[in-house]
Chain A
């Protein structure tokens, strides 16, 4: 792809600002729907196998955004790995949870509604709503509603994450030197018969990947 075309593509893809704004909107809306004290979203960093605290609305420390923890421990980890939603009351009775919450957000909730952010067949994070302002319990019906909202939020987040990584590649953050860009360049330079052979090999790889899905 020419530099010009890359620049144009990078220019039309949404950037980090929109990603941040979407995350913020997800937690704000979740908090408003359920009249909650707080809502927060954790996204999976699959490479590091960690959940990252990405956004918070209401109670909790903005400064701890970016805080990381193991992706399959604790309540958020269970929800992420199993894909099942949970409604928990008196969760502050769990001493481990209480101290981790105090450490990670500075806020120890009494009740939690936690649902996975699932897009296609991938769980990309966890959305939590904490403590209703009136003190009433969250219900299973509300967890179902939060689950539907989370599915919509996950689809939007997934799109933004994909475009963010595409933008990084196009803008050269990855050094313009990924396997795919090197392959594309090599194909461009190759003699026609070598090129045909390489393309046949790539098509075989494509067929193999399609079977592994």
Chain B
């Protein structure tokens, strides 16, 4: 299925239209301060105004650690037709609830949306994952949390086009890196923020990795998380590191809604715990 997202976007602003003095008055000029630090990036931010979409197993919206979601949908594919249904099934695993709870803990006032791409009758992983992501990109959410990946090469072109579309449409996709020796996507793409885990027990410690494709490390070991049916448990995995970065991105977008995905990613690198800040 072709990716068609505002096909005329490419015609909206031809490069030759902004020569000369016009170029200096483009929105966003003189955006950056002399020095970038966490205080500038997200100091005082609560996530208010930013929307984070969790593409996962659904979310238990009534879980006290989740604090409600503004919308839950499920992807259903029948006869090659994609349907986006309002979803009242909650969480078919517990994992999506864990991600939503982590995001809420970092960005307490952000708006959460759930897209369920797992569940009974979801034959195979690829198509529902792609269609769930496509819907999220079309909605233009500030941050899209994808603690999952696919190993199927036939979905790579579609996924690549979708993540590029998100990148240009100001939706930042934050994706879990695979911790097994397999090739999987979309975390390997440069248009997303890829996350693996460190074992430091601090939700605000995040590290930049100078040796990609894994770009950032966040807390992902022995994290107390929300789980299905109102339960909590202790979990480890890259899939729990990812929502920490999603939460921090929500804080950044909440304070600086004008920042584009590559700018948010740069800001993450500049404010990483291991980034060298010249005195």
Contact = CB atoms under 8 A, between A and B. Distances in A.
A97 B199 contact: no
A81 B125 contact: yes
B273 to A, nearest CB: 19
B220 interface: yes
Contacts of A118: 151, 180, 182
A49 B150 contact: no
B179 interface: yes
B179 A88 contact: no
Contact of A147 (B180, B184, B228, B229): B180
B237 A85 contact: yes
A148 interface: yes
Contact of B179 (A91, A147, A213): A147
Nearest to A82: B148
Contact of A74 (B93, B199, B229, B237): B93
A105 interface: no
B147 A96 contact: no
A65 interface: no
Contacts of A71: 122-123
B179 A144 contact: yes
B107 interface: no
A143 B179 contact: yes
| Interface size band for A | 35 or more
A140 B239 CA distance: 12
B118 interface: yes
A90 B233 contact: yes
B252 to A, nearest CB: 25
A58 B93 CA distance: 25
A175 interface: no
B30 interface: no
B118 A89 contact: no
Nearest to A78: B93
Given A73-B119, A85-B179, A78 B153 contact: no
A93 interface: yes
A89 B119 contact: no
A82 B125 contact: yes
A137 B222 contact: yes
Nearest to A92: B233
Nearest to A147: B180
A23 interface: no
Interface in A186-208: none
A150 B179 CA distance: 12
Interface string B226-269: 01110111111111000000000000000000000000000000
B199 A140 contact: yes
Interface in A79-125: 80-91, 93-97, 115-116, 118, 120-123
Nearest to A90: B233
B190 interface: no
A208 B69 CA distance: 44
B233 A83 contact: no
B76 interface: no
A91 B233 contact: yes
Interface of B: 57, 92-95, 118-125, 147-154, 176, 178-184, 197, 199, 220-222, 227-229, 231-239
Given A73-B119, A143-B179, 5 more contacts: A84-B237, A88-B234, A94-B94, A115-B180, A151-B180
